[in-house]
Amino acid sequence: MPAQILDGKVISQEIIQQVRAQVDARVAGGKRAPALAVVLVGSDPASQVYVGNKKRQCANAGITSIAHDLPADTTEADLIALVQQLNADDAVDGILVQLPLPGHINAEKIIELIDPNKDVDGFHPYNIGRLALKMPLLRPCTPRGVMTLLEKTGIDLVGKDAVVVGASNIVGRPQALELLLARATVTVCHSKTRDLAEKVRNADVVVAGVGIPNFVKGEWIKPGAIVIDVGINRLDNGKLCGDVEFEAASQNAAWITPVPGGVGLMTVATLMQNTFDAAVKLNP
């Protein structure tokens, strides 16, 4: 039987509606709507699309988005000054600096400067450390969104073998921490991993985030496994495809996410949850 689809379109909309209801209740209680500052430096086309989606979903969730669109030649000092201003601004609950930043700006330095209580991306070392220590505050959006999808399967993750393909700071590493927090047995694979196929063949849960089209072969997927594809790759023909061979993997998996229409939408929905959570923490 082919896999059931974990539909990011439907599930992300559910989450945004949930946040909307929470925001409406908060506003009805006399508080202002949560506010997210969205900082974009330069005009990278993919980043412009992502930032546009974030602003649109803010509107759907009842969250105020405050755009800071800066030219590509913005100095590091100017960006630092902006982040410090946003940290100090009581009318701002969340700060998102879209990555990648231009080469002349040190992204790690900027991320570390964001107030961890407003770090709705969950990228600050403080927030990664909290996640590693089983006391998460703000959790990185994509891995948290993947956990929401996994919950929707109704399958208990305790003791399951999970394989994360990719070890990036944004996806693979925090994903491994999330799965560990859910008490799965976690293997993190990367470019130096030997016999990736054998690792994936043993996995009850596979999360792929490497950014290489069709990198994970469908025949590697264990019958009944859950397959989460974080990759969003544009092919020469203009089509989007994931990191997993979707059709072949669907023959083995019990559950699978499509690309597009899977994890990408969950990342933005989770950003709305994080912004609401940050607003409540800052102003209970």
Provide the annotated binding site for NADP(+).
Answer: 166-168, 232
Instruction: Give CA–CA dist 130/235, Å, rounded.
Output: 37
Does 148 help bind ligand GUN (rule: CB under 6 A)?
A: no
Q: Which of 104, 103, 89, 44 is nearest to 69 (CA)?
A: 44
Which residues, at least 6 apart from 49, have a Cβ–Cβ distance to it below 8 Å?
A: none
Task: Copy the structure tokens of residue 209.
Answer: 């985030």
Write down the least CB distance from residue 102 to ligand GUN, Å: 13
Does 121 help bind ligand GUN (rule: CB under 6 A)?
A: yes
Q: Residue 52 CB: number of other CB atoms within 10 A?
A: 12
Which residues, at least 6 apart from 86, have a Cβ–Cβ distance to it below 8 Å?
A: 37, 39, 92, 95, 118
Task: Copy the structure tokens of residue 11.
Answer: 């599930």
Which residues, at least 6 apart from 56, have a Cβ–Cβ distance to it below 8 Å?
A: none
Choice between 53 and 185, CB closer to ligand GUN? 53
Does 277 help bind ligand GUN (rule: CB under 6 A)?
A: no
Choice between 137 and 203, CB closer to ligand GUN? 137
Q: Residue 32 CB: number of other CB atoms within 10 A?
A: 13
Binding segment toward ligand GUN, per CB under 6 A, in 29-37, 96-104, 191-199, 255-263: 96-104
What is the rounded (10 degree) CA torsion for 207, 96, 131, 178?
-20
Residue ranges in 19-48 that form contacts with ligand GUN under rule CB under 6 A: none
Residue list, annotated binding site: 166-168, 232
Q: Are 95 and 119 in contact (CB under 8 A)?
A: yes
Does 119 help bind ligand GUN (rule: CB under 6 A)?
A: no
* Residue pointed to by tokens 């969205």: 38
Residue ranges in 97-116 that form contacts with ligand GUN under rule CB under 6 A: 97-99
Does 267 help bind ligand GUN (rule: CB under 6 A)?
A: yes
Choice between 51 and 254, CB closer to ligand GUN? 51
Residues binding ligand GUN: number (CB under 6 A): 9
Binding segment toward ligand GUN, per CB under 6 A, in 81-89, 94-102, 127-135, 187-195: 94-102
Buried b (16+ CB within 10 A) or exposed e, 121-158: bbbbebbbebbeeeebbbbbbbbbbbbbbbeeeeeebe
Does 96 help bind ligand GUN (rule: CB under 6 A)?
A: yes
Which residue lies nearest ligand GUN, judged by its C-beta?
Answer: 99
Whether 85 is catalytic is: no
Whether 54 is catalytic is: yes
Residue ranges in 152-191 that form contacts with ligand GUN under rule CB under 6 A: 170
Residue ranges in 51-90 that form contacts with ligand GUN under rule CB under 6 A: none
Binding segment toward ligand GUN, per CB under 6 A, in 62-70, 91-99, 191-199, 245-253: 91-99
* Contact residues for ligand GUN, defined by CB under 6 A: 96-99, 121, 141-142, 170, 267
Q: What amino acid positions are annotated as catalytic residues?
A: 54, 98, 121
